[in-house]
Amino acid sequence: MTEAATLTSNKTLLSVNNIEVIYDHVILVLKGVSLEVPEQGIVALLGANGAGKTTTLKAISNLLRAERGDITKGSIEFEGKRIDTLTSAQLVQQGVIQVMEGRHCFEHLTVEENLLTGAYTRRDGNAAINRDLELVYSYFPRLKKRNRAQAGYTSGGEQQMVAIGRALMSRPKMILLDEPSMGLAPQLVEEIFENVARLNRDEGVTFLLAEQNTNIALRYANHGYILENGRVVLDGSAAELRENTDVKEFYLGISEGQRINFRDVKHYRRRKRWLT
């Protein structure tokens, strides 16, 4: 109920309108994806491997071009302005930053240097940057202890913290978080998501996160979109999705009654497309 309340009271920060993405001029990956992220919301992008979650995030942050991908149809708006022609550097300056799947820390830089690269686009002076460095350390105290260690030698969980902290250093309005749970122990996943919730609540950062771990994503998000084969097949508030029988069956692994035969599943899915 509170989730619904926060959703409706906020205006839309990001809206993706019917985008189509093609890689290498031939491979059609997104076939018309639309979604909206409200200001200060946490929105989850769910789906299996290859559904198009990462591509959607990269389309927004415009990291696509470096991978020979192109948005061929549709538009992306952030704070009411078109952003699909901006470079990723310009986007970071506007307040949209992506934390990539698989952390992607700068291995040979120390933890602190990694964090400081996040402030590359900022022009508000060292004092402000150092303040934010302390802020990041207050969220991730473990990083403070390891601030002189080369990032390549830190653990997976610490690297994920570095990646999120690095993004925070750019003072973002919105973080696109790709697969934060990847390869991490359940306890660490919980810790990461706990921090996402805190950052959202205390710093007012909006999150759009792609996750395969539907269960945890729906616990922390207030809205969810489910992607299949480059299309949004289902969306709704997190509470709704958690109760949806299809989501339970296919994404949460909770069956009601007997298990559904695989042949039935395929059939069933086909009929269930285009719900939105």
* Alpha-carbon dihedral angle through residues 234, 190, 172, 38, given to the nearest 10 degrees: 30
CB of 124 to other proteins, least distance (A): 13
- Positive or negative CA dihedral for 30, 35, 41, 43? negative
d(CA 25, CA 29): 11
Contact call for residue 177 and other proteins (CB under 8 A): no
CB of 116 to other proteins, least distance (A): 6
Selected from 93, 147, 229, 237, the binder of other proteins by CB under 8 A is 93
- Name the residue nearer to other proteins (CB basis): 107 or 194: 107
Q: Are 173 and 95 in contact (CB under 8 A)?
A: yes
CB of 86 to other proteins, least distance (A): 11
Give which of 162, 78, 170 is closest to 124, Cα–Cα.
170
Q: Find the part of the chain contacting other proteins (CB under 8 A) among 48-56, 73-81, 117-125, 220-228.
A: 117-125
- Name the residue nearer to other proteins (CB basis): 106 or 268: 106
Strand 69-78, strand 12-23: pairing: antiparallel
Q: Are 232 and 33 in contact (CB under 8 A)?
A: yes
Selected from 41, 52, 118, 165, the binder of other proteins by CB under 8 A is 118
Q: Which of residues 8-67 bind other proteins (CB under 8 A)?
A: 61, 63, 66-67
Contact call for residue 117 and other proteins (CB under 8 A): yes
Contact call for residue 208 and other proteins (CB under 8 A): no
**Tell me, what amino acid is at 174?**
M
Contact call for residue 232 and other proteins (CB under 8 A): no
CB of 130 to other proteins, least distance (A): 13
Q: Are 189 and 113 in contact (CB under 8 A)?
A: no
Selected from 46, 71, 99, 177, the binder of other proteins by CB under 8 A is 99
d(CA 74, CA 244): 29
CB of 150 to other proteins, least distance (A): 7
Q: Which of residues 62-91 bind other proteins (CB under 8 A)?
A: 63, 66-68, 87-89, 91
3-state helix, strand, coil in the chain (%, to 5): 45, 25, 30
One-letter-per-residue 3-state SS of 141-153: HHHHHCCCCEHHH
Contact call for residue 166 and other proteins (CB under 8 A): yes
Q: Are 92 and 52 in contact (CB under 8 A)?
A: no
| Contact string (CB under 8 A) for other proteins, positions 134-163, x = contact | ----------------x-xx--x-------
Kindly list the residues in this chain that would bind other proteins in the complex (CB under 8 A): 61, 63, 66-68, 87-89, 91-93, 97-100, 104-109, 113-114, 116-118, 120-121, 150, 152-153, 156, 166-167, 170
